[in-house]
Chains A and B, each alone.
Chain A
């Protein structure tokens, strides 16, 4: 699918927003702390934005804990998510859950759980539900290299492949599960090497090339929408910070972390668009200001919002 200039600019804006928003949260977390433990997606933003861009509203995403860009690309409000990190009543679910597990079915965002890998069967089930209803929506779910060692990963890919469910399984392979490098997690070179075990395509892309991510996803989405079943799409990337902001990242040396920052998905896309003449330096400056304004307003909104009352904890256990 070729993207128009407007679409390319929109994609860049979302990527830039994901970057600056994450930087802001890291800054706040370091200076005064936040109730929600931040799991930074710095370095990996192209995957979240590139996979979600141009999905239909009735397509679903189920983001991993590190794919924050998926929420924004789907239209979730920056204010809502920031208020969520602050634990405020104006956050998702009135503070009952962290922002990175939020769901909004109208926007096509499915909630996950706090167990890494447990979201994969849930996403698979959403695809099953779609098929049961005779709809042609698709589900995209992201997870890391770590999650691919879960039994739930195996069971889900197996079920989705034999039932030809409309789902794209996206592995954000940053080669670390908290502090455990890939070589210690699996005997194979690529998570996508598992795909033949399920009779589905295993595709590997440079996760820091947002166009490559987008195009590979669109191919997998078309396959799923046509009823041909799932794809395992592995996006190779690097995690710039620790697993969470509590992780001092002492298991990686300074050389390794410095080297990874030289391959920046935002800078690469910016360079590409500047070269194509879609972006200009002036437009970049304007976008930076626009994005910063939204972020600053969301922080103000979060700061000024109230905390939920303690007794509000008692409600919403059951649906009517």
Chain B
């Protein structure tokens, strides 16, 4: 099977959905000729023109708010917010506008929109360009929340997100854009709300999101050398969360480690941990354990940033401790 990058996979998803449905259009800052800050939309302006790939002024709030209004009257906007750290600027229109329109109209009015943003640390971009923000969003009823970890998942999930008739926040990871992976030529979709077992195992379940999925897989390879069989579960979607797949894995292995790049306190891992602690209580042989960044802003200097980002080392250490 051919291998393409996460970035190319996202671009293909956008291209295919724009070809399939003339109502789909893109808006965001510098997404047209410039091709987007992370070059995801590169080439799409030349292919589809300024009516379908629209550069906006520097106005995050109206990018999101206008997406709500446009979606309500019958088109399907895919908005790009340059950095996930800027999502607080659109929080009103995600949490209060988009998330609540269907409910407040008793299902009569839908908001089929996608907000894409790049998150994550590792580029020495400092406190306002490196955060992981899924924890901020997980407490909002009415949105769907997706974090793809591979090119295959990125393409399939973005296509599904665009076809979904609800507001979807789609969080990409900066360091994943250049990663390569197998992606079929033929069209396919990855459903929202379905987790993926990235690696089968029997001794411990490692639940990981976004970039941490790759670190968990590498950690699992190392652990295998010590005779530890780790199962890596990638939720892929946090809202709605695939509790069934997660719980089935935990009931099998009896030990669970949840890993995310976001700060520990109040992160998505806290919700997953609470679900497991309640619904798999009788199966657990060890406390539900989370790995997240220390509760600090992302530091700028590379040495400190490295300290912030948890990795294989921490995963291996925690896993072994849980099996001791």
Contact = CB atoms under 8 A, between A and B. Distances in A.
Interface of A: 60, 92-94, 96-97, 101-105, 110-111, 113-115, 118, 120-130, 132-133, 151-152, 155-156, 158-159, 162-163, 315-320
A113 B57 contact: no
B69 A316 contact: no
Interface string B5-23: 0000000000000000001
19 contacts: A92-B106, A93-B106, A96-B105, A103-B101, A114-B96, A118-B96, A121-B62, A122-B66, A122-B72, A124-B65, A126-B70, A129-B71, A130-B73, A132-B51, A132-B75, A155-B62, A155-B65, A317-B103, A319-B111
Contacts of B109: 103, 105, 111
B141 A121 contact: no
Nearest to A62: B69
A97 B100 CA distance: 10
Contact of A129 (B74, B100, B142): B74
B65 A125 contact: yes
Contacts of A156: 62, 65-66
B318 to A, nearest CB: 35
B93 interface: yes
Contacts of B23: 132-133
Given A118-B65, A129-B70, 11 more contacts: A92-B105, A93-B103, A96-B104, A103-B72, A113-B96, A118-B96, A120-B65, A121-B61, A125-B77, A316-B102, A316-B107
Nearest to B52: A132
Nearest to A132: B75
Contacts of B106: 92-94, 96, 315-316
Interface range on chain B: under 10, 10 to 19, 20 to 34, or 35 or more? 35 or more
A24 to B, nearest CB: 25
A113 B102 contact: no
Nearest to A104: B108
A37 B54 CA distance: 40
A118 B102 contact: no
A37 B104 CA distance: 17
B166 A111 contact: no
Contacts of B102: 316-319
A90 B178 CA distance: 54
Interface string B55-70: 0110101101111111
A158 B66 CA distance: 12
Contacts of A155: 57, 59, 61-62, 65
A282 B70 CA distance: 47
A142 B183 CA distance: 49
Given A103-B108, A156-B62, A317 B101 contact: no
A118 B104 contact: no
A103 B111 CA distance: 13
A163 B142 CA distance: 30
Nearest to B97: A113
A102 B106 CA distance: 10
Nearest to B111: A319
Given A105-B73, A122-B97, A111 B105 contact: yes
A152 B23 CA distance: 25
Given A158-B59, A317-B142, A121 B65 contact: yes
B69 A110 contact: yes
Contacts of A102: 105
Contact of A97 (B56, B96, B105): B105
Contact of B72 (A97, A110, A159): A110
B308 to A, nearest CB: 31
Nearest to A58: B73
B10 to A, nearest CB: 22
Nearest to A158: B57
B45 interface: no
Q: Which of A96, A114, A130, A318 lies at the interface centre, i.e. has the most chain B CB atoms within 10 A of its CB?
A: A318
A143 B142 CA distance: 26
A60 B73 CA distance: 9
B103 A96 contact: yes
7 closest Cβ pairs, A-B complex: A125-B69, A121-B65, A125-B66, A319-B110, A129-B70, A97-B104, A155-B62
Given A129-B74, A151-B61, A158-B57, A93 B69 contact: no
Nearest to B102: A319
Nearest to B70: A129
Contacts of B59: 155, 158-159
Contacts of B69: 110, 121-129
A12 B69 CA distance: 31
B25 interface: yes
B285 interface: no
Given A110-B72, A125-B70, A132-B23, A317 B141 contact: yes
A155 B60 CA distance: 9
A114 B69 CA distance: 15
A96 B70 CA distance: 23
Contacts of B93: 118, 121-122
B66 A121 contact: yes
B110 A133 contact: no
B92 interface: yes
Contacts of A152: 61-62, 65, 92
A129 B22 CA distance: 12
